[in-house]
Amino acid sequence: MDQGAVEMKKLSHYDRAGSARMVDVSGKAETRRAARAHAFVRMAPAVLKKLPRNPKGNPLEIARIAGIAAAKRTWELIPLCHSLPLSHADVDVAIEKKGVRIVASAATTAQTGVEMEALTAAAVAALTVYDMTKALDKSIEIQDLFLLEKSGGKSGDYRRQGKP
């Protein structure tokens, strides 16, 4: 067996033949699951100063709402994700010296976790900040999209070490 097949066998979204599949969670018990994810939108100080006067509206509030909406629709965006009844979704946005920090959270009581919902919320919120400010500067960067922490489920709790 080649190395690629060995790696795929360890991943739950592949069957024995290496084809992508949706994981069957029907035999799992429903438990409380929560996750938080992070993204950073790096932009020039001049763009940051103009955020409050954006003619399209408040970019940070629009990004927050877009992130929450995206969390609720993750299953439509990521092909093998399950549709989950979210009991919580939120996005915090904060202006910092070099850009906008985004932290998204999601929670549910279900048979599978909400890491993808938190990551999707953070990513879409970051994309929305970009969309709302791109007229001022095309060199804005979305950076550091990652899972901060997750709780619940068979794999247990996870907390990222190091970065925020």
CA 133 – CA 60 distance, rounded (Å): 10
- Residue 131: active-site member: yes
Q: Which residues share a beta bridge with 42? A: 99, 141
Neighbouring residues of 125: CB distance < 8 A, sequence distance ≥ 6: 39, 63, 64, 66, 67, 70, 91, 93, 102, 104
Kindly state the helix (H) or strand (E) to which residue 96 belongs, with its residue range. strand 88-96
Bridge partners of 31?
Answer: 110
The active-site residue out of 2, 15, 90, 131 is 131
Active site residues per annotation: 131
